[in-house]
Amino acid sequence: LSRQVVNEQLSSIIKNYKSPSSFFPCNIPLIDISNPESKNQLVKACEEFGFFKVVNHGVPMEFITKLELEATKFFSSPMSQKEKTGPLDPFGYGNKKIGPNGDVGWVEYILLSTNSEFNYQKFASILGVNPKDIRDAVNDYVLAMKKMACEILEMLAEGLKIHPKNVFSKLLMDEKSDSLFRLNHYPPCPDEFQEYNGRNLIGFGEHTDPQIISLLRSNNTSGLQISLVDGHWISVPPDQNSFFINVGDSLQVMTNGRFKSVKHRVLANSVKSRLSMIYFGGPPLSEKIAPLASLLIKGDQDSLYKEFTWFEYKNSAYKSRLSDNRLALFEKV
Ligand code: GA4
């Protein structure tokens, strides 16, 4: 990469960076999901933050380390090889460009759909392994994520006293569930650009996730920040043994705004590279996303949102910029 190209990319990233904000030390909700009594705590975390940390998750460490190792190997391969796995259409390898509308970040990634067959051939040949091994590693991990996501969603339904308790989880269990899996690698900011480091270089710009729920696991490098309801950004201390969960736009709508789809972003680190893996649990494309009747006292007139399908919402999301308030278009006036 020539210095000029890197410079242009950096100034574009910096240009997109919004005004500096305060960083508050804050206690992010910590939830032991092996304890059924955590239901109410979970509900409270989704209402207050739309974000929480999960311990005692039961995901075999082996699934995590296996995928992390292959991902590290892949991202440390020469750029010329990584680029051969592209173009991003919309799945595959991506570098700096995020989404189709001009957003950029100091990040490279692999984006996959969890229900369509993906061709791992090119990835496997870079890694020098059998495509089946990669596919199995991704599938084992994704399956474990889906299981955890469903457990959390069922605890949430119980905490909200909604029947049946699978109202949310059935959308992820559906064979047509439109869920995604993403591996993000945030390289350390290169030495020659140290002068920019004081300015919080953006790895992944602020946004909310459009889906129902997202499950994130990262290595021990900091960077993730969440925005509090009052607009303050707080840094989330990394913890490689836990998962961080966030409420997505669709769950905000289904709970008629009771749960908050949390705005979050990632700042690039100047020394260490950050690796994160995120499962985005989404509904089938044809699914109507609307507040659950049992959460509306006076019926439809209480609903804060116009009715839409996940297909419509997703289409609209892909026309937006990362930091846009995508739900605004679907709010009742
Ligand atoms: C945010 C959550 C997921 O990473 C993602 C992102 C998607 C992309 O990277 O292609 C989007 C973004 C995300 C929301 C708005 C659109 C679409 C980039 C973008 C500008 C995969 C998703 O589903 O929505």
The better pLDDT of the pair 85, 237 is held by 237
CA of 99 to the centre of ligand 1 (A): 6
The mean pLDDT value for 94-104 works out to 94
* Residue with CA nearest ligand 1 atom 5: 209
Using DSSP's 3-state secondary structure scheme, residue 153 falls into helix
For 78-135, give the DSSP string: -HHHHHTT---SSSEEEEEEETTTTEEEEEEEEEEESSS----HHHHHHHTS-HHHHH
Report the atom number in ligand 1 closest to the C-alpha of 109. Answer: 9
Q: How far is the CA of 260 from the centre of ligand 1 (A)?
A: 18
Distance of CA 25 to the CA centre of its chain: 22
Res 88 pLDDT > 80: no
Q: Which residue has the tokens 């574009």?
A: 12
Please name the residue whose Cα sits nearest to atom 12 of ligand 1.
322
Q: What mean pLDDT value characterizes the chain? A: 91
Between the CA atoms of 142, 147, 153 and 154, what dihedral angle is there, to the nearest 10 degrees? Answer: 170
Task: Assign 3-state DSSP to the chain and report helix, strand, coil percentages, each to 5.
Answer: 35, 25, 40
ipTM, interface predicted TM-score of the complex:
0.99
**DSSP string for 26-59:** ----EEETTSGGGHHHHHHHHHHTSEEEEES---
Mean pLDDT score, 55-68:
96
Annotation says 217 is catalytic: no
**Residue 194: is its pLDDT beyond 60?**
no
Ligand 1 contact via 97 beta carbon (within 6 Å): no
pLDDT of residue 19: 44
Who wins on pLDDT, 90 or 132? Answer: 132
Instruction: Report residue 319's pLDDT band, with 50, 70 and 90 as the boundaries.
Output: very high
Three-state SS for 222? coil
Nearest atom, ligand 1, residue 101 CA: 20
216-253 tens-digit pLDDT: 999 999 999 999 988 899 999 999 999 999 999 999 99
Average pLDDT on 60-70 reads: 96
Cβ–ligand 1 distance for 244 under 6 Å, the answer no
Which helix (H) or strand (E) segment is 288 a member of? strand 288-289
Answer for the pair 277, 244: CB distance below 8 angstroms, yes or no: no
For the Cβ of 209 lying below 6 angstroms from any atom of ligand 1, the answer is: yes
Ligand 1, atom 23: closest residue by C-alpha = 210
Query: Quick one: which of 154, 141, 135, 131 has its CA closest to 63?
Result: 141
Q: How confident is the model at residue 52 (pLDDT cuts 50, 70, 90)?
A: very high
> Does the beta carbon of 180 sit less than 6 angstroms from any atom of ligand 1?
yes
Widest CA span in the chain: 61
Question: What residues contact residue 127 under an 8 Å CB cut-off, 6+ apart?
Answer: 70, 73, 74, 134
According to the model, what pLDDT value does residue 10 have?
72
How far does residue 253's CA lie from ligand 1's centre (Å)? 18
